[in-house]
Structure 1
Amino acid sequence: MKNLEVTAVNPQEDNIVKVLGVSDEKFDQIAKLLSKGIASEAPISTMMNEVSQICDNPNELALACFKMADTIGKLNQVMSNPFAMLAEMMGGGR
């Protein structure tokens, strides 16, 4: 079994990707895989299983969980509030 300790690699940073020491390339790979899963309406368990296969350490998997939760939360907000959808489309939902 892998060591599952999440470690702040760069605690002085204010960006979670940098704090966890995840490369931009790996973050992009994780984000694309999650986007693909969300677009195909894959179950959360399937998405997490697939993303865990490309993660090399616990920090990457933790970041994937944070990203998925954030994306699903925003999607739920947009789906439940048409005005939120307009704000998101206009760039105001960030």
Structure 2
Amino acid sequence: MAQSPKGRLVWNHSTHIAGLIAVLERLTEVEGISTITPAVIGPARSKHPALQLKVSVPIRGGFKVIARKGKSVQEVFVLTTLSKEALEKAIDQAMMQ
């Protein structure tokens, strides 16, 4: 029985929101997710004590996800065949592990 191929996590930047990479690595295990790319990190207007990931808008081949923690916000691009609802469920499960 062949194992489904694992998605890949692209490291474009040297800085990431604390705890984000661990969640994204768990997401690469989800069938239907091919590539996850953390992108621009910047300051947020409001403070979020815990890491939050929210599916934002569809992009070609997937979705843009917004990660927030503390006073930082970071864009994450997820290339996937999953629906928005299925991706949200996968993110919730990855956050709980």
Task: Specify if TM > 0.5.
Answer: no
| TM-score normalised according to structure 1 size | 0.29
- Which structure is higher in RCO with an 8 Å CA cutoff and minimum separation 6? 2
Bigger proportion of residues as strand: 2
Larger-gyration structure (1/2) = 1
Bigger proportion of residues as helix: 1
| TM-score normalised according to structure 2 size | 0.29
